[in-house]
Every structure is written in structure tokens, then in C-alpha cells.
Chain A
């Protein structure tokens, strides 16, 4: 049957459908033979594919530059994938460990707090994302003995602010980091007193004259408050053209992570120089001492381990 092609502009004869039928039959026959004589097909295939087999062996095993480059590239890509997966896994584990560690430290601090008579334990009920920043609302008020002006701490000795308003059942705490909040700080390291000013956003800054060596990690204490550690310097701004340099200070916990605080029952009275010196010395030295809870935990652990070991030996 003749047909007209619009592209070729001539008649042509339609191709027969025979070849595909032949191919179909041949394939069936070859399959059949292959299933009856598998060794024969294997031998023939190997002979037919020998050049390709040689190429693949060269690619897989050769020490020449090109195949080696291709192999090492794919190996390196695989290794990068594996390492990235490993890093992601480890980051997750590290975060879990850090979270548990921080929770543990908070609970230890609270446990120690239970032994102190002049402190009130309070739960933070509203935090800065729902209040104006640098303000906390706690669940203890004047009914519990909270007074305006009482210092507020995280744990036992990290002073973070003062009570600015009380009602019978709750109180508001203004943090040291509130913009415009001024206090006097003592910087351990250069061992100097310096003004501490809140700049907002959970950050305060100390300003010291040029020439005094500030380093990141220097502890900052609030000597006017008993054992008042505030935090450590996390960043330094030092422009040679300015007469002073700034050290930015943050508390050890992010504000969102503060779940419990302790409130002093008594408003601190004005203190003289000797008292402040003594308080600073005590505060610095306290870092070299284990607290009661740590000691208790260590002793208990040691006791348990010894008992278990002895038991094992007896058994």
C-alpha cells in the first residue's frame, strides 16, 4: 500500500511489520536455548563482551591516572556523604548531652538552694517573648515575702536582676540587662571595678579605659549583691580611636532557658569597701570549692561503686 509523506513529498511503501515479529521469535528461541544450555550462553556472552569486560576491569583496577581519578572521585563523594551523615548524627547527640547537662546543673543548683534559708524559690511564669524584653514575671509575690528591690538569682549566686513590682501572688523582675540599668561590676582578670550598663536583649556591657586587658571569658561579678556573679565577657569592642573599650556580658543561661529563679528575702544594705572585697574574694574562691550537693553525689557514687565491687568479689 502506497502512502504520501508530507515531509518527504513523495510516495513511499509502508515498512513491513515482519522484522519485529522475527525479533520476537528469535528472542524467544534464544531465551529457550539459554534456559536449556546456560553454560553455552554464558560462554558466548563472555566472548562477545570480552572487550567491554577488559574496559571495566581497567576502570575498576587500573593504577593509571584517568581511572584512578574517576574512582577516587566517586569514593571521595561517598566518603563526604558518609562524613556529613556522621556529623549530623554527632551534632544531634552533642545537643542532647548539652541539654541534659544544663538541666542537671539547674536541678543541682535548685537542690542546693533548698538548704539556704534566706532565699525563696520562684517559678518563672512569663518570659521575655511575651513580656517586654529584659523583664520576668515570677509566681511568688508579697504574700510569700517578696519585696521590691530584692535581688533575683539563677541558682545560688548568679544575680540577674531585681524585683521592681510585687502583687500578692506574683512579681516582676527587671533584669540587669534592661537598657539604662546601671550597676557596678568587678571584672576578674584585670581585677578592676567598672560600670555595668544594660543594653537590652539579654546583654549588658562593662566599659573600661583603653590599655586595660580585657579577654573573652573574664568573669563579671556584682559585688554589691552577696556572691553576685553576673556572667562572663563574651565579646569585646575595642576601637583605638575611642577613649574606652566595651566588654559585652551575658548570663550563663539564655533568658528563654530560665525556668526557676531564687529571690533574696532581704534587700541588701549598702556595703563598705571591706565587705565588698571580702565578698569578691569569697565569690572567686567559691569556684575552687565543690558545693555540698556535688560532694554528696560524689560520695554516694563512690560508696555504691565500692559496694557493688565488693559484692562482685564475694560472689
Chain B
């Protein structure tokens, strides 16, 4: 539920141009959840602003960060803190 609320707030803050709030939510979401929903959100925002006709920078950056963080977490055997690897 919290993830949905954060995504909702992120979307609203970007559309209302509250960029400080949006930046904080974006970074927080990427680090805490690293969910692929944020990439979908980035695609929607770039589509909304019509950036796909040139270069969808926000989508590409988000996609890159999401991939990097996902890979890093796998590399560091991050398991959510409740696992004993046998």
C-alpha cells in the first residue's frame, strides 16, 4: 500500500512541478523498493510530456538505475534480512 501511495505522490509532485519532493520520493523508492513499477511510471511520464519523439531521458535513466540497483542487490546477496543461506 505504501508503495502505491509513494508512486501516487511521485506522479502528482512531478505533474505539479514540485521537483524537490519528487526527487526525494524517486530516490527513496529506488533504494528501498527497487520495483519495476517506477520504470513504468517513467515511461508514462515521458509519454505524457511527449518526449518519445526525441529521447526519453527520464525513462532511460530510471531503467538504468533500476537495473543497476537490482543487479547490485543480487550481487551483494541482499535477501531482505530474514534468510540463512544454507
**Chain A residues within 8 Å of B, Cβ to Cβ:** 3-8, 17, 19-20, 23-24, 27, 30-31, 34-35, 38-39, 41-42, 44-46, 48-49, 52-53, 55-56, 59-60
| B63 contacts the other chain (CB 8 A) | yes
Given A27-B39, A34-B43, A53-B15, list of 8 further CB < 8 A pairs? A17-B74, A31-B60, A38-B52, A42-B47, A45-B46, A49-B45, A49-B48, A56-B12
Q: In the complex, what's the smallest C-beta–C-beta distance from B37 to chain A, in angstroms?
A: 9
Contact B16 A56 (CB under 8 A): yes
With known contacts A42-B47, A45-B44, A52-B11, A31–B56 Cβ distance under 8 A: yes
Sampled A-B contacts (10; CB under 8 Å): A5-B82, A5-B84, A19-B36, A23-B36, A31-B43, A34-B46, A38-B50, A42-B50, A45-B45, A49-B48
For chain B, the count of residues having a C-beta within 8 Å of the partner chain is 28
Q: Residues of A contacting B83 with CB < 8 Å?
A: 3, 5-6
Q: In the complex, what's the smallest C-beta–C-beta distance from B79 to chain A, in angstroms?
A: 9
Contact with A along B41-83 (1 / 0, CB 8 A): 0011111101011001001100100010010001000000011
Residue from A6, A30, A34 within 8 A of B82 (CB atoms): A6
Q: In the complex, what's the smallest C-beta–C-beta distance from B64 to chain A, in angstroms?
A: 11
| B1 contacts the other chain (CB 8 A) | no
Q: Residues of A contacting B47 with CB < 8 Å?
A: 34, 41-42, 44-46
With known contacts A20-B70, A45-B48, A46-B48, A27–B86 Cβ distance under 8 A: no
Q: 5 tightest CB-CB pairs across the interface, nearest first?
A: A45-B47, A23-B36, A38-B52, A56-B15, A7-B82
| B4 contacts the other chain (CB 8 A) | no
Chain B: CB-nearest residue to A46: B48
Q: Residues of A contacting B52 with CB < 8 Å?
A: 34-35, 38, 41-42
With known contacts A41-B47, A53-B48, A31–B84 Cβ distance under 8 A: no
Contact B84 A4 (CB under 8 A): yes
Q: In the complex, what's the smallest C-beta–C-beta distance from B12 to chain A, in angstroms?
A: 6
Contact B43 A42 (CB under 8 A): no
In whole angstroms, how far apart are the Cα atoms of A56 and B22 in the complex? 14
Contact with A along B19-33 (1 / 0, CB 8 A): 000000000000000
Q: Residues of A contacting B15 with CB < 8 Å?
A: 49, 52-53, 55-56
Contact A60 B16 (CB under 8 A): yes
Residue from B50, B63, B82 within 8 A of A27 (CB atoms): B63
Chain B: CB-nearest residue to A55: B12
Q: Residues of A contacting B56 with CB < 8 Å?
A: 31, 34-35
Contact B85 A49 (CB under 8 A): no
In whole angstroms, how far apart are the Cα atoms of A94 and B56 in the complex? 50
In whole angstroms, how far apart are the Cα atoms of A142 and B82 in the complex? 94
Chain A: CB-nearest residue to B56: A34
Contact A38 B84 (CB under 8 A): no
Q: Residues of A contacting B16 with CB < 8 Å?
A: 56, 59-60
Q: Residues of A contacting B40 with CB < 8 Å?
A: 27
With known contacts A5-B83, A55-B12, A56-B16, A45–B43 Cβ distance under 8 A: yes
With known contacts A27-B36, A45-B48, A53-B48, A4–B86 Cβ distance under 8 A: yes
In whole angstroms, how far apart are the Cα atoms of A55 and B16 in the complex? 9
Q: Residues of A contacting B48 with CB < 8 Å?
A: 42, 45-46, 49, 53
Q: In the complex, what's the smallest C-beta–C-beta distance from B45 to chain A, in angstroms?
A: 7
Chain B: CB-nearest residue to A24: B67
Q: In the complex, what's the smallest C-beta–C-beta distance from A77 to chain B, in angstroms?
A: 12
In whole angstroms, how far apart are the Cα atoms of A74 and B49 in the complex? 24
